Amino acid sequence: MKQALFVGIAGALGAICRVGIGKLFVGSPDFPMATLTVNLLGTFILCLLSAGVIQRLTADRQLQTAITTGFLGSFTTFSTFSLETVTLLQDGQVMLAIVYIAVSIIGGFVIGLFGMKIGRKMVSA
């Protein structure tokens, strides 16, 4: 029960941060920059933490789950990425949809590798 509460609180904070970042990109309606930003940032942080950094921050498994599943799980969003891609395609913006998919997937992979590399260096230091 305690873990569920931690995940819920962290999830609320992640969602609030996601909305805050969304407010920074209000002027870019043609390209889903807010979702791209939170997904890439969330990927970087999750990979950094997964490289062992989170164990150095806290040994509490419930808190680790709250951060990764709660905060980062609600901060990032695959469903919005999917919806925005479908919307771009339905609006006839095929090239923009392809760019969005490519940057999301390839960018996520690259930034994830970068996060892991930095995380491993932080842990081994």
* Euclidean distance between CA atoms 68 and 14, whole angstroms: 10
Annotated binding site: 73, 76
Give the residue among 15, 59, 61, 57 at the shortest CA–CA distance from 38. 15
Strands (E), 11-114: none
* Euclidean distance between CA atoms 69 and 63, whole angstroms: 10
Would you say how long the chain is, in residues? Answer: 125
Helix axes 2-24, 33-48, angle to 10 degrees: 140
Looking at residue 57, its amino acid is: L
Helix axes 94-124, 78-90, angle to 10 degrees: 160
Annotated binding site for Na(+): 73, 76
